[in-house]
Amino acid sequence: MVAVTEMKTGYILNILLARHGLTDQSLLCIDLKPTRVMCGQADGLQPRTLEVLKTMGLADPILQDGCYLWEMMVWKPSQDGTIERFSVIDNKVGPARYQRAITISQGIIEQVFDDDLAHYSQRGVRRNSRLVSVSLDEDSDPDFPVIATIETDGVPQTVRTKFLVGTDGAHSTVRKCAGIQLNGESIDDFWGVIDFVVDTDFPDIRRFGRVHSRKGTIMVIPREQTVDGDYLTRLYVQMPQQEESEDGNPHTEGNGIEPRRSRKSQITLEKIFQQVSEIFEPYYIRPKAGVDINWWTVYQIGQRIAERFAMKDSKGLGRVILAGDCMLSFISFGLKMLWYVNLEIANFEIW
């Protein structure tokens, strides 16, 4: 079996199958990235996922190093045009073994997975590898009908496999090679995301929650402690719907894909911090002096779902299977949690 991954769903599948006895000769997991994630991307674990990782014996380092989201705060616009605290409540998720969500770097979790996989696989995840093409050919070999061309460090290789699972994210190469379309839409709504060490007088910066102002909304997500002893914070920042052009007038290119890409490209780190300052007024919030920004990006809001979840053979058996974000995408500015989809993969492994 081949697993194509850019997220940890594929890693979990790889670990589970390796534990069940699939060797390096029977199992290949590839990742486009040359190394594990060093910063950014998904930043948290929901309680149910923690339970799954606990059953796999992988939760302890995460529980030890993660940041627990104990409380949730909400701020709203005040009468003087700034913001004021509306509520602070206990952030229990529900009656479960683990009642709090945890935030932690995706790279730390990848390291936990890599260390565990090393007990079962000499090769581990084959990095710096990309899927070039995938097709079905039942005539020449009905037992291994999936033909995949994989390029590693620029060198192509063609393999045959019984199954290929795509867990390679919203821009999935597996989905595109399988000719599966995403149905849905994106809207003209962009959010900046920043991971950084904060210097601020905002009193709730270490509480998870939302800040609503007349200028927009920010989600505040406390993060784990760095090796330098500082604490990271993630902000999801609602950007103005239209960026102004150089002459001060709003852009009016339209609402198609290219205009949206153009507007997204115009959102800079400086503009995100400008919006942060306006939303948090009268409080100041800025990067700690002498500490670089850990990571930042821009998301566009969208909701899409694949027209089908597998490429099937002539008997109706799914041979190229989609999982995770490559089969659906959803609003990205919420707490981007690692990973409800892990439950899906755990069920897939049982099946």
Q: Of residues 330 and 292, which shows the higher confidence score? A: 292
Q: Rounded to the nearest 5 degrees, what angle is found at the Cα of 194, between the Cα atoms of 9 and 271?
A: 135
pLDDT at res. 6: 73
Per-residue tokens: 148: 């995949």
Residues 266 and 231 in one domain: yes
Residues 229 and 122 in one domain: no
Residues 10 and 131 in one domain: yes
The mean-pLDDT minimum among 15-29, 179-193, 225-239, 279-293 falls in: 179-193
Residues 312 and 170 in one domain: yes
The span from the CA of 151 to the CA of 130, in Å, is 5
On the question of pLDDT at 205 being above 70, the answer is yes
In a domain, 98, yes or no: no
Residues 321 and 294 in one domain: no
Residues 176 and 205 in one domain: no
- Of the residues 301, 321, 342, the one at which a domain ends: 301
pLDDT-above-70 percentage for the chain: 88
The span from the CA of 217 to the CA of 221, in Å, is 13
Q: Which DSSP helix (H) or strand (E) runs through 75?
A: strand 71-77
pTM across the whole model: 0.86
On the question of pLDDT at 292 being above 80, the answer is yes
Per-residue pLDDT band for 252 (boundaries 50, 70, 90) equals very low
Residues 207 and 132 in one domain: no
On the question of pLDDT at 282 being above 70, the answer is yes
Q: What is the pLDDT of residues 124-148, one digit of tens each?
A: 999 999 999 999 999 999 999 999 9
> Where residue 216 sits, what CATH number does that domain have?
3.30.9.10
- Cβ atoms of 197 and 205 closer than 8 Å: no
Residues 241 and 297 in one domain: yes
Q: What is the pLDDT of residues 47-60, one digit of tens each?
A: 888 999 999 999 99
The pLDDT mean for the chain works out to: 88
Instruction: Give residue 68's Cα distance to chain centre.
Output: 19
pLDDT at res. 253: 47
Q: Residue 40's domain spans which residues? A: 2-66+104-181+307-350
On the question of pLDDT at 169 being above 50, the answer is yes
In a domain, 96, yes or no: no
pLDDT at res. 264: 87
On the question of pLDDT at 19 being above 70, the answer is yes
The mean-pLDDT minimum among 1-5, 113-117, 324-328, 330-334 falls in: 330-334
Q: Which DSSP helix (H) or strand (E) runs through 265?
A: helix 257-265
In a domain, 296, yes or no: yes
- Cβ atoms of 163 and 29 closer than 8 Å: no
pLDDT at res. 38: 85
Q: Of residues 264 and 210, which shows the higher confidence score? A: 210
The mean-pLDDT minimum among 82-86, 90-94, 141-145, 223-227 falls in: 90-94
Q: What is the pLDDT of residues 260-272, one digit of tens each?
A: 677 888 999 999 9
On the question of pLDDT at 258 being above 90, the answer is no
Residues 193 and 175 in one domain: no
**Number of domains comprising the chain:** 2
In a domain, 324, yes or no: yes
Residue 344: what are its φ and ψ, rounded to 5°? -60, -45
Conformation bin of residue 184: beta by default, left when phi > 0, alpha when psi is -120 to 50: left
In a domain, 81, yes or no: no
Per-residue pLDDT band for 338 (boundaries 50, 70, 90) equals very low
Span 328-336, average pLDDT: 56
